[in-house]
Amino acid sequence: MPVVGFLSTRTAADSASVVAAFHSGMKEVGFVDGQTVRVEYHWAGSQYDRLRELALDMVRARVAVITAIGPPAAVAAKAATATVPIVFTVGSDPVKTGLVANLGRPGGNATGVNIFSAELGAKRLGLLHDLMPAASTVALLVNPRFPNVGSYISEVEAAARAIGWQIRVVNASNEGEIDAAFATILQLHAEAVFVAADPFFTGRRDQIVQLAARHAIPASMRCASFLRPAG
């Protein structure tokens, strides 16, 4: 029975809707877990440094294909193999992250879907500006372990300069650091928080929303769900 490797940056508990949509999509084309294929799940739990070894485990197990959820998972899978087919779902430019040669002709062993979360950063910042036109300083919460975080920061900073805002970058890569980040944000007298598009922050959205509400500071973040269409 062919084995499908499922590699995710998040946890199983955070990904119930994603897994349900994945099973539904496979069933529509004749693949049923436990009947026609076997799916092996590997969860990094937002510990991006685990992804490389998880991806290599899949390659060593000779999976038929790797499904990679999130840019860090896709990058790790691509680094682990040049031959096993990879199907990814990412929220940042797959060309910039080195997953494909170009959008029209991906080439190599990877293909997938880009939901353009990172590319919508300027739009999200513009919406925040519409809500707070008098603000001048905004904190940008980023995960320093996220692939191409430097280019993401540069793009947001450029968009901020265009509307006359100053960006203060604050880092967080685990639950405790998110709490500390909000303490830093208050010390910086930032008037709002702009949360980078990152699966780690999506998984910690409840914590971020609660902190923003507790400190009465406006926040903009991207939250994604994968749902099966009605009907």
Query: What CATH number is associated with residue 212?
Result: 3.40.50.2300
- Asked if 136 and 200 sit in the same domain, the reply is yes
SS3 category, 162: helix
For the segment 115-130, the average pLDDT, to the nearest whole number, is 78
Total domains, the chain: 2
Whether 227 maps to a domain, the answer reads no
Q: At residue 151, does pLDDT exceed 60?
A: yes
- The answer to whether residues 34 and 108 belong to one domain is yes
State the average pLDDT for the chain: 88
Domain boundary among 89, 114, 139: 114
Contacts of 231 (CB under 8 A, 6+ apart): none
Q: Give yes or no for a contact between 125 and 163, defined as CB atoms under 8 angstroms apart.
A: yes
| Residue ranges making up the domain that contains 174 | 118-220
Is there a domain that residue 157 lies in? yes
pLDDT at 198 over 90: no
Predicted confidence band of residue 117 (pLDDT cuts 50, 70, 90): low
Q: What is the pLDDT of residue 216?
A: 93
Is residue 229's pLDDT more than 90?
no
Q: What is the pTM of this model?
A: 0.70
* Domain end point (choices 73, 99, 114): 114
Q: Are residues 110 and 8 in the same domain?
A: yes
Q: What is the pLDDT at residue 223?
A: 55
Confidence of residue 126 (pLDDT cuts 50, 70, 90): confident
Same-domain status, 33 and 95: yes
Place of tokens 């990879």: 86
141 phi, psi to nearest 5 deg: -90, 120
Q: Are residues 57 and 106 in the same domain?
A: yes
Percent of the chain topping pLDDT 90 = 56
- Give the separation between CA 207 and CA 23, rounded to whole angstroms: 29
Q: How far apart are CA 119 and CA 130, in angstroms?
A: 19
DSSP calls for 43-78: E-TT-GGGHHHHHHHHHHTT-SEEEEESHHHHHHHH
Sign of CA dihedral 11, 15, 21, 23: positive
Give the end of a domain, one of 78, 97, 114.
114
Instruction: Look at residue 134 and give its three-state secondary structure.
Output: coil
* Percent of the chain's residues with pLDDT above 70: 94
**Among 100-104, 106-110, 190-194, 216-220, which is the least confidently predicted range?**
100-104
pLDDT at 225 over 80: no
Tens digits of residue pLDDT in 9-53:
888 888 888 899 999 999 999 999 999 999 999 999 888 889 999
